[in-house]
C-alpha cells in the first residue's frame, strides 16, 4: 500500500522522457514518486482527487533571504547601494534571532501557499533558519551570509561561523536541508577571503552561494580594484564550478557568459528584484543559448516584494521579450524549466520533475477558475495567467504540507501575528538608534 495517490489530474511531468499526461496518476511512497502513469493498480492510504487541477513538480526558488519578509515594503523605490547601505544594513544590525525566526516562518508559509517546495537561502542566524525549515516541511539549501569587507580578522570569524553552520546542518532534516557557504559578493568579500572560502567549501564538500555582477556599480568597482570584472576575478582564482550558485549575473560580457557556461556555474536569475532596484537585465537567452543552467529566484522580500514564483516566471519571460524585442524569446515551457528542473539541478535535488524515483515534491494548481479559463496550453496558462494563490495542494518529501488551500504544518494566523509584531518592534528599535 502506497502513501498517496493523486488521481484525475492533468499531469505536467516536466520529464522530457515521459511527456505530459492529460489525465494521469502520481503515486507516492516513502517520500518518493513511485509511479507516474495514465492509471495505476496501486492503492494508498490517502487518495487526492486532482480533478480540474494541474499536477506538477513544485517550484525551486534559487535565491532568497527568507528572513527579509520582515522588511516587505520597508524601504522601496531606492537604488541598490542606498537601499542596502542606508536602510537595509542599519535595520539588519538590529535583527535578533527571534526576528529571523518570525520572518523565516512567514517566508516558509508564503512559499508553501504559492507552490515552492525548495529554496536557496542566504542570511543570518542560520541555525534558527534551519530549525524553522525543518519544522515547516520544506526543502532548502541554506547558507550563512559572510560579509568580510576586506577585514582579515572579521573574515576569520565569518568563515568560522559559515563552517560551523555547514558542518552542523549539511544533510539535516532527513536530507531536506543542505548547507552551503555564502560569501556575499566579490565586492563585499576580498579575493583572499574568497580563495579561503573556496578551499573550505571543497574540503567540506559543500556548495557556494554568492551574488555576482548584480549592478553596474559592482562592475566598475571591480574594474577599479582588480582591473577586471567579478567573473574574471573569480575565474582567476578557480572559484567557478558546478558547485557554485551565482545570483543575478546581470552585467556580463560575452566572455563572462562563456566562462560561466563552460564552468557549469548555476545562475539564479531574479528578474523582479533586478527591475525593482533598476539593476539591469540579465542576458538570460544568451546564457541559455550557451546551455548554462539558469534557474529562477525571487531574491529577498524587500526587493520584490513577494516570494511568488508565478510572478517571477511571468516577469522573466516578459523581460526577455522586451529586452530582445523578440516575442518568441524565453517561451513558457522554458521558463517553467528554469523554475523547476534547472533549480533542482542547481541545488543538487532529485526533483524538478515528476519521475519514478524522484522526490515527492508535488503541487496541484487549481485551473477551474475564471482567470484560468479556457485552458488551451498548460505551460502558457501557468506562466501568463496563474498566480501563487491558485496552488491548492503542496506535498514535500511525500508529506502533505497544504491540502485544498489549508496549510497543515504551520499555524498560519500565529505566524502572521508574530511577524507583524516582530517587524514593528524592529522598526521602532531602528528608529530609536538613528
Ligand X SMILES: C[C@H]1O[C@@H](n2cnc3c(N)ncnc32)[C@H](O)[C@@H]1O
Residues that bind ligand X in the complex, under the rule CB under 6 A: 65, 84, 88, 92, 122-123, 145, 184, 211, 214, 273, 299-300, 303
Nearest-approach distance from CB 211 to Zn ion, in angstroms: 5
Q: Which does 273 bind (CB under 5 to 8 A by kind): ligand X, Zn ion, none?
A: ligand X
Q: Which residues pair with 359 in a beta bridge?
A: 32
Helix (H) or strand (E) run with residue 163 in it: helix 152-169
Radius of gyration of the chain (CA): 21
Q: Which does 184 bind (CB under 5 to 8 A by kind): Zn ion, ligand X, none?
A: ligand X
391-396/139-146 β-pairing: unpaired
The secondary structure of residue 359, as a DSSP letter, is B
Per the annotation, does 63 bind a ligand?
Answer: yes
Of all residues in this chain, which one has the CB nearest to ligand X in the complex? 145
Rank residues 245 and 402 by Cβ distance to Zn ion and give the closer one. Answer: 245
C-alpha to C-alpha distance for 255 and 55, rounded to whole angstroms:
40
Rank residues 190 and 279 by Cβ distance to Zn ion and give the closer one. Answer: 279
The answer to whether the beta carbons of residues 423 and 27 sit under 8 Å apart is no
Per the annotation, does 417 bind a ligand?
Answer: no
Q: Tell me how many degrees the CA angle 301-307-310 measures, rounded to the nearest 5.
A: 145
End-to-end CA distance of the chain: 61
Rank residues 71 and 358 by Cβ distance to ligand X and give the closer one. Answer: 71
Per the annotation, does 211 bind a ligand?
Answer: yes
Per DSSP, the three-state class of 237 is: coil
Tell me which stretch binds Zn ion (CB under 5 A): 25-33, 218-226, 294-302, 426-434.
294-302
Written as one string, the DSSP assignment of 240-285 is: -STTEEEEE--S--HHHHHHHHHTT-EEEE-HHHHHHTT-----HH
Q: CA–CA distance from 151 to each of 148, 191, 310 (Å)?
A: 6, 11, 40
Nearest-approach distance from CB 184 to ligand X, in angstroms: 6
Nearest-approach distance from CB 65 to Zn ion, in angstroms: 6
Tell me which stretch binds Zn ion (CB under 5 A): 90-98, 162-170, 251-259, 297-305.
297-305
Nearest-approach distance from CB 145 to ligand X, in angstroms: 3
Rank residues 249 and 383 by Cβ distance to Zn ion and give the closer one. Answer: 249
Of all residues in this chain, which one has the CB nearest to Zn ion in the complex? 299
The answer to whether the beta carbons of residues 388 and 339 sit under 8 Å apart is no
Nearest-approach distance from CB 247 to Zn ion, in angstroms: 5
Nearest-approach distance from CB 14 to ligand X, in angstroms: 28
Per the annotation, does 41 bind a ligand?
Answer: no
Per the annotation, does 29 bind a ligand?
Answer: no
Per the annotation, does 92 bind a ligand?
Answer: yes
Q: Which does 355 bind (CB under 5 to 8 A by kind): ligand X, Zn ion, none?
A: none
Per the annotation, does 110 bind a ligand?
Answer: no
Residue 29 cell numbers, joined:
511512497
Rank residues 243 and 299 by Cβ distance to Zn ion and give the closer one. Answer: 299
The answer to whether the beta carbons of residues 12 and 56 sit under 8 Å apart is yes
Rank residues 35 and 216 by Cβ distance to ligand X and give the closer one. Answer: 216
293-296/32-37 β-pairing: unpaired
Written as one string, the DSSP assignment of 81-130 is: HHIIIIIIHHHHTT--HHHHHHHHHHHHHHHHHTTEEEEEEEESSHHHHH
Rank residues 103 and 387 by Cβ distance to ligand X and give the closer one. Answer: 103
177-183/399-403 β-pairing: unpaired
Nearest-approach distance from CB 420 to ligand X, in angstroms: 20
Q: Can you say which residues are annotated as belonging to the binding site for Zn(2+)?
A: 63, 65, 211, 299
Residues in contact with Zn ion by CB under 5 A are 299
Binding residues: 63, 65, 92, 184, 211, 214, 299
Amino acid at each position: 500500500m502506497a502513501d498517496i495517490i493523486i488521481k484525475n489530474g492533468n499531469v505536467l511531468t516536466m520529464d522530457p522522457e515521459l511527456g505530459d499526461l492529460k489525465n494521469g496518476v502520481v503515486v507516492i511512497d516513502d517520500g518518493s514518486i513511485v509511479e507516474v502513469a495514465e492509471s495505476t493498480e496501486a492503492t494508498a492510504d490517502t487518495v487526492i482527487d486532482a480533478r480540474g487541477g494541474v499536477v506538477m513538480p513544485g517550484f525551486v526558488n534559487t535565491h532568497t533571504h527568507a528572513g527579509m519578509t520582515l522588511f516587505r515594503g520597508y524601504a522601496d523605490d531606492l537604488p541598490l547601494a542606498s537601499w542596502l547601505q542606508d536602510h537595509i544594513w542599519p535595520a539588519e544590525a538590529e535583527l535578533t534571532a527571534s526576528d529571523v525566526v518570525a520572518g523565516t516562518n512567514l517566508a516558509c508559509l508564503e512559499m508553501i501557499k504559492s507552490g515552492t517546495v525548495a529554496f536557496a537561502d542566504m542570511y543570518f542566524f542560520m541555525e534558527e533558519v534551519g530549525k524553522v525549515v525543518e519544522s515547516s516541511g520544506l526543502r532548502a539549501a541554506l547558507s550563512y551570509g559572510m560579509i568580510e569587507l576586506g577585514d582579515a580578522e572579521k573574515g576569520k570569524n565569518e568563515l568560522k561561523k559559515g563552517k560551523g553552520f555547514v558542518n552542523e546542518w549539511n544533510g539535516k532534516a532527513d536530507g531536506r536541508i543542505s548547507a552551503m557557504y555564502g560569501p556575499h559578493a566579490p565586492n563585499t568579500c576580498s579575493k583572499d577571503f574568497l580563495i579561503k572560502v573556496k578551499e573550505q567549501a571543497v574540503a567540506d564538500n559543500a556548495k557556494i552561494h554568492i551574488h555576482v555582477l548584480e549592478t553596474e556599480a559592482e562592475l566598475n568597482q571591480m574594474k577599479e580594484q582588480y582591473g577586471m570584472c567579478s567573473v574574471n576575478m573569480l575565474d582567476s582564482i578557480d572559484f567557478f564550478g558546478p558547485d557554485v550558485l551565482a545570483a543575478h549575473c546581470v552585467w556580463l560580457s560575452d566572455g563572462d557568459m562563456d566562462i560561466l557556461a563552460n564552468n557549469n556555474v548555476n545562475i539564479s536569475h531574479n528578474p523582479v528584484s533586478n527591475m525593482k532596484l533598476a539593476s539591469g537585465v540579465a542576458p538570460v537567452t544568451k546564457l541559455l543559448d550557451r546551455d548554462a543552467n539558469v534557474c529562477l529566484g525571487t531574491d529577498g522580500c524587500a526587493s520584490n516584494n513577494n516570494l511568488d514564483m508565478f510572478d517571477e516566471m511571468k516577469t522573466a519571460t516578459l523581460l526577455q521579450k522586451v529586452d530582445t524585442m523578440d516575442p518568441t524569446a524565453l517561451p513558457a515551457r522554458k521558463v517553467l524549466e528554469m523554475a523547476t528542473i534547472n533549480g533542482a539541478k542547481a541545488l543538487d535535488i532529485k526533483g524538478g520533475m515528476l519521475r519514478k524515483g524522484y522526490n515527492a515534491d508535488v503541487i496541484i494548481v487549481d485551473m477551474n477558475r475564471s482567470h484560468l479559463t479556457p485552458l488551451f496550453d498548460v505551460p502558457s496558462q501557468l506562466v501568463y495567467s496563474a498566480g501563487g494563490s491558485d496552488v491548492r495542494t503542496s506535498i514535500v518529501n511525500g508529506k502533505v504540507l497544504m491540502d485544498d488551500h489549508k496549510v497543515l504544518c504551520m499555524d498560519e494566523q500565529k505566524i502572521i501575528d508574530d511577524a507583524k509584531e516582530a517587524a514593528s518592534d524592529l522598526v521602532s528599535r531602528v528608529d530609536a538608534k538613528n
